[in-house]
Structure 1
Amino acid sequence: MTTEPRLKTILDGGRYFEAPRWHDGRLWFVDCMARTLLSISSSGERQEHAAVTDDTPCGLGVLPDGDIVVLTMFRKRLLRFADGQLSLYADLSQLAAGTIDDMIVDGQGRAYVGDLGFDLPPPDNRGAVGRIILVMPDGSARVVADGLRFPNGIAVSSDHTRLVVAEMDGACLADYDIAPDGSPQLRGRLGRINEPDGICLDRDGSVWVASFTEDAFIRIGRDGAERERIAVPGRRALACALGGAERRTLFCLSAATSYEDLRKGKSVSRIDIVDVETAGDGDP
């Protein structure tokens, strides 16, 4: 069903917000174009934590000790933010086949990283060459999934047994079981969403999906059916996360932009919130 807009804007005027993660009472995220790591409270208090001077930050994760991991796309690195400083956490430049995009860290400290399989901008004949790289807490890394069509948003359940990946070119969600060693095993594909970007899970096992070209945040059930839709007319939906005291606040990141505008560096991003019935689960 379509839900009438009931969003409340808590932050506006950014450039391109991505990778929202609820942690320690705040929403952490990056501004890709401004190359900054930020956080905001539910009431809108904004704080800038760090700048990435030599690359574009995109994905985020939170380690079990509370440190933040920031993905940088083109140098293919994961950076650890601790004590106000960024330091190298993992260098994937020799393992990744292409630009790395989004990532998530589960409650055991395992990082799942999306490898597009090609370098941006995307070639016309790119195909299903995307992969998932698993970075273990000891720093070892290996490819654990392939055959993905532009892996984008990634989410993992709180019991560490389910991984979901948005396939932007595939217009669907790849749904995996996670083996004890962290390896995902494909269960199937869910939904039909145009250009799915960032995602998050709720306690019913449904997935909230930011659809870039549908200008909406869409809730997809375990059976692949659409359950809810929150429209942001005229704006590209980028990413979402469930947070707040009871994890029933849906943070919706969007931008007034287009592919043509993005090529020119033109984008204005904002964060809206809305209360939902079903609380969040896992990460983000």
Structure 2
Amino acid sequence: MNEPQLRTLLDGGKYFEAPRWHQGRLWFVDCLARTLLSIGPSGDRTEHATFADDIPCGTGILPDGRLVVLTMFRKRLLAYADGVLSPYADLSGIATGTIDDMIVDGPGRAYVGDLGFNLPPPPERGADGRIILVTPDGEARIVAEGLRFPNGIAVSADHDRLVVAEMDGECLADYEIGSDGSLHFRRRLACGKEPDGICLDRDGAVWVASYGEGAFIRIDRDGRERQRINVPGRRGIACALGGAERRTLFGISAATSPEELRQGRSSARIDIVEVETPGSGYP
């Protein structure tokens, strides 16, 4: 099978993250530029908000259409609507480390990754990562522990399954979601090196942005690789399925390294490609 050819939608950012398809546009953040952005299918780009006091990272969409943006070091969730950012949840009292990625499911429950340590990563870090659940009424509690650098998070359309990429563990942790939002561990699935952002498709397969392999990799329910799209010389950062039929894979990559990233040196890009199986769930 020939590898699908990517087409560049947007180039020249610093470090894009957390793509979410919403209201006919792809919403995402530029972590290093500290901005919330969106882009349409034709490439029209809009800057919506800036974050003067912290670095934005994970995002999610609430049932009422508001966007939620996570800020990493002050450990907050902010809601965005009509050009205004407002407080949504303060996780500084429960998170033990930097918070990173997140997702919001259909009922409005936010699942947030807590690294368990502060960035930059210490050399002797272990399985200290956790997932924090924030319910629509504002309650926050720990629903998963023992994760090795929890990164991208995805939830199935039926709200029965949550998958989180363990960047240090180089695997996907697969959970069953209880009726109260609690998580029950099922298994770990092999995937690419240093998995970052992820999304689900209608077959239950997971598209994984592989930071370590510079690729977007489709992993089926049994942990088998089914498709690979390479971005040579770049890092796979995040991905989302969107477009009118959710068959457009938006792949975010960056030309950088961990050392360069700590110095603020990075060049981000969004590429698109049409895939056979449409997206499903969140994101």
After TM superposition, the structure 1 = structure 2 runs for residues 252-267 of structure 1, keeping only pairs within 5 Å, are: 252-267=251-266
| Residues 150 and 167 in structure 1, CA contact (< 8 A), matched pair in contact too | yes
Match of 2:46 in 1: 47
Indicate the RMSD between aligned Cα atoms, in angstroms: 0.8
Match of 2:161 in 1: 162
After TM superposition, the structure 1 = structure 2 runs for residues 234-249 of structure 1, keeping only pairs within 5 Å, are: 234-249=233-248
Q: What is the CA-CA distance between 1:192 and the residue it aligns to?
A: 3.2
Q: What is the CA-CA distance between 1:122 and the residue it aligns to?
A: 0.9
Structure 2 gaps of 5+ residues are none
2-structure distance, mates of 1:183, 1:252: 30
Match of 2:137 in 1: 138
Q: What is the CA-CA distance between 1:4 and the residue it aligns to?
A: 2.5
Match of 1:63 in 2: 62
Answer yes or no: is 1:229 the counterpart of 2:228. yes
Q: Which residue identity lines up with residue 123 of structure 1 in the other structure?
A: P
Return structure 1 stretches of 4+ with deviation > 3 angstroms: none
2-structure distance, mates of 1:4, 1:36: 33
2-structure distance, mates of 1:265, 1:207: 30
Secondary structure of residue in 2 paired with 1:280: coil
Secondary structure of residue in 2 paired with 1:261: helix
1-structure distance, mates of 2:207, 2:190: 11
Q: What is the CA-CA distance between 1:82 and the residue it aligns to?
A: 1.2
Match of 1:9 in 2: 8
Secondary structure of residue in 2 paired with 1:281: coil
Match of 2:93 in 1: 94
Q: What is the CA-CA distance between 1:5 and the residue it aligns to?
A: 4.8
Q: Which residue identity lines up with residue 182 of structure 1 in the other structure?
A: G
| Residues 5 and 232 in structure 1, CA contact (< 8 A), matched pair in contact too | no
| Residues 192 and 212 in structure 2, CA contact (< 8 A), matched pair in contact too | no
2-structure distance, mates of 1:42, 1:162: 29
Secondary structure of residue in 2 paired with 1:89: strand
2-structure distance, mates of 1:107, 1:5: 31
Match of 1:125 in 2: 124
Instruction: Count residues in correspondence.
Output: 283
Match of 2:216 in 1: 217
TM-score (norm 1): 0.98
Q: Deviations over 1:197-219 (max 9, x none)?
A: 00000000000000001000000
Secondary structure of residue in 1 paired with 2:232: coil
Secondary structure of residue in 2 paired with 1:42: coil
2-structure distance, mates of 1:89, 1:160: 22
Which shows bigger deviation, 252-261 or 222-231?
252-261
1-structure distance, mates of 2:114, 2:263: 25
| Residues 18 and 32 in structure 1, CA contact (< 8 A), matched pair in contact too | yes
Which shows bigger deviation, 92-101 or 263-272?
263-272
Secondary structure of residue in 2 paired with 1:262: helix
1-structure distance, mates of 2:192, 2:5: 22
2-structure distance, mates of 1:164, 1:39: 25
Answer yes or no: is 1:278 the counterpart of 2:274. no
| Residues 242 and 251 in structure 1, CA contact (< 8 A), matched pair in contact too | yes
Which shows bigger deviation, 196-205 or 39-48?
39-48
Match of 1:112 in 2: 111
